[in-house]
Amino acid sequence: MCSVDPDELTEMTRATGQLDICGGDVLCRKCGTGTAEVVLRVKDAYCRDCFLAYFVHKFRSTIGKSKQIRHGDKVLVATSGGASSAAMLHLIRQGLNETSHKQLRFEPAFLYVDESCLSENPSPGQEYIKKVCGEVTSLNFDCYVTSIEQIMSTQEMSPVLFTMEWSEEHLPKSKSLEEGMKDLLMACKSPSAKEDLAEQLRQDLIVQAAKALGYQKIFLGDNATNLSIAILGNVAIGRGSQLPGRVHFKSVHRGIEIYRPMREILQNEIQYYVEIHNLSAVQAPGFHLQGPSITSCTEDFVKSLQRDFPATIPTIFRTGDKLMSSSSEQSRRTSPEPGSGAGSCSEVCVLCGSDLDTEQGEASAVHAILISQELSQRKVGGDSKGDKSTVNGSCESSDSAKLAENSCACNGDGGCGSGGKDSKREHVLSQDQLEGYLCYGCRIIARELRNIQLLPIKVLGMAAEQERRKLMREQIQDFLL
C-alpha cells in the first residue's frame, strides 16, 4: 500500500511499537526541552505546550485559510456532547477570548439534537440535555435544543432555547412523531440502510433548525478519523458521488452552508486535548446500531490499519480532499431548494438534499442496475412488478398515463384523501415514482424500506409535488411552441 506524496509515491511504513514516554525521560521533538506528554503517529513525542499549540493551530488555520467565516457571521454549531463537540466548544470559547490577531470573530450559538427516543433506554434524555447544554451555557453561549423526531413533523418547529430553569415541558414531545420515527427505522431491512437513513435525517434536521433560527452557516464536529471512514464507507453504500459534499471543509445543503472546522484533527488527538483540559465528553443516548453495518465494518478496517500504519487516515483523508463534485458548488448554491416553486428543483434528492446523481450515461453503475432490475421484473412477469410498484393498498396503478388523468397515484376517487391539505395520504406515491426523485444512495434506502409511506411527510410531499409538476408539464407539452 502506498501513501500519495505531492511529488512522489512513498511506501507506507509499518509502525514498530508505540514510543514509551512513561518514564518521563523523553523530550519533546518540537522544542527539545519540555517533557513529552503526548505521542502522535506512534513515534512523535510532544510536550503539553507544543501539542496544544499544534492542535489549536490546526483548528484555527482550517477556518482561517478558507476565508469563508467572516467577522460577525452567525454560526450554528451542532453539538452532540461527544469528545469532538466538547473540544470544538472549548476551542471556540478560547478563540473568541483571544486578544491577538488570531481571535475568532464569528457569533456562535449551539444546537443539541435529542435522540433519546431512538435509544434502548429513552428515559435519561432530559438528563443529557441538561448536561450537554449546561456545559455550553456555562461558557456564555446560547444553546438550542430540538429532537430527532421533529424531522417527521409536517410543520417547521423552531428549536427551543435552553435555560438554567430547563424542565421536560420546555421541549414538547409528541408520541406520534416518536413512534413514526421508530417505525421508519424499524422498517429498514438492513442495518446499513438504517444507519444511513438516520444519518441523512439527522443532517437534514440540523439544516432545518438552522433555517428556522435564521442561521446561514453550520459547524459540524466531523474529525479526520470520521471523515476517512466516511470516504470509504460512503463509496460502499452508494454515495460516492456525494463525497465532496460530505467531507470537504465547506458544502452547501439545501441552501445552508455546512463547515467542518475539526476535519484536520485526528480522533486520538482530540482525546488527548479533552484529557489535558479535563473536558466533559459524554455519549448521549441516541441511535446506536446493534450488529455490523457497512460503515461499522469500514470503521474497524480503517482503525485497525491505522494502528499498524499511522499514515492510513492521512492518506485516505488527503485523497478525499482531491475529489471534486461533477456539479460545481456554484450551481448547487444557486439551484433552488426542493418545493421552492422553481422548475429545476427536481435536480435535488428529496430525502437527503444532495444533487441527483442518477442521470448518468449508459456506462454507469446506476444504469447497469436499472437494466438488471428491468430484466428481472420482466422474467417474473406482472406479479413482482405489481408488488414493487404498489406500496399502498389504496393505490391501484403506477401508470403515468393514468396518473396524468387523476394527478394522483390513486384513482381519483378520493381514496387518497387528496382533498385534505395536511393529509399524509395526499402524498401516496409508488416506489418507482418516489425513486425518480431520489439520489442513488437514497434509492438504496427506499428499496430497503418495507413501506416507503413511513418516510417523513415532508419528503413524500416534495416528491408528490414534483410528480404533479412533471405530469402537468407532460400534459401541456403539446401546446408549447
Residues forming the site for Zn ion (CB under 5 A): 28, 30-31, 34, 47, 50, 349, 351-352, 439, 442
**Whole-number minimum distance, CB 34 to Zn ion, in Å?**
4
Tell me the three cell numbers of residue 84: 469532538
**Whole-number minimum distance, CB 349 to Zn ion, in Å?**
3
Taking the least distance from each CB to Zn ion, the nearer of 351 and 403 is: 351
Taking the least distance from each CB to Zn ion, the nearer of 176 and 340 is: 340
**Whole-number minimum distance, CB 440 to Zn ion, in Å?**
8
Taking the least distance from each CB to Zn ion, the nearer of 89 and 439 is: 439
CA distance 252 to 343: 20
Taking the least distance from each CB to Zn ion, the nearer of 315 and 354 is: 354
Residue 263's alpha-carbon distances to 242, 315, 407, in angstroms, are 17, 14, 46
Q: Looking at this protein, which amino acid is placed at residue 465?
A: E
**Whole-number minimum distance, CB 140 to Zn ion, in Å?**
31
Which residues, 6+ apart, have CB-to-CB distance to 73 below 8 Å?
106, 107, 216, 217
CA distance 314 to 312: 6
In DSSP terms, 161 is beta-bridged to: 144
Taking the least distance from each CB to Zn ion, the nearer of 171 and 439 is: 439
Taking the least distance from each CB to Zn ion, the nearer of 237 and 262 is: 237
Buried b (16+ CB within 10 A) or exposed e, 303-327: eebbeebbbbbbbbbbebbeeebeb
**Whole-number minimum distance, CB 264 to Zn ion, in Å?**
20
User: Rounded to 5 degrees, what angle do the CA atoms 147, 153, 158 make?
Assistant: 55
Q: Of the candidates 280, 263, 258, which has an alpha carbon nearest to the alpha carbon of residue 139? A: 280
Chain centroid to CA 475: how far?
Answer: 38
**Whole-number minimum distance, CB 39 to Zn ion, in Å?**
13
**Whole-number minimum distance, CB 49 to Zn ion, in Å?**
6
Taking the least distance from each CB to Zn ion, the nearer of 30 and 424 is: 30
Which residues, 6+ apart, have CB-to-CB distance to 382 below 8 Å?
none
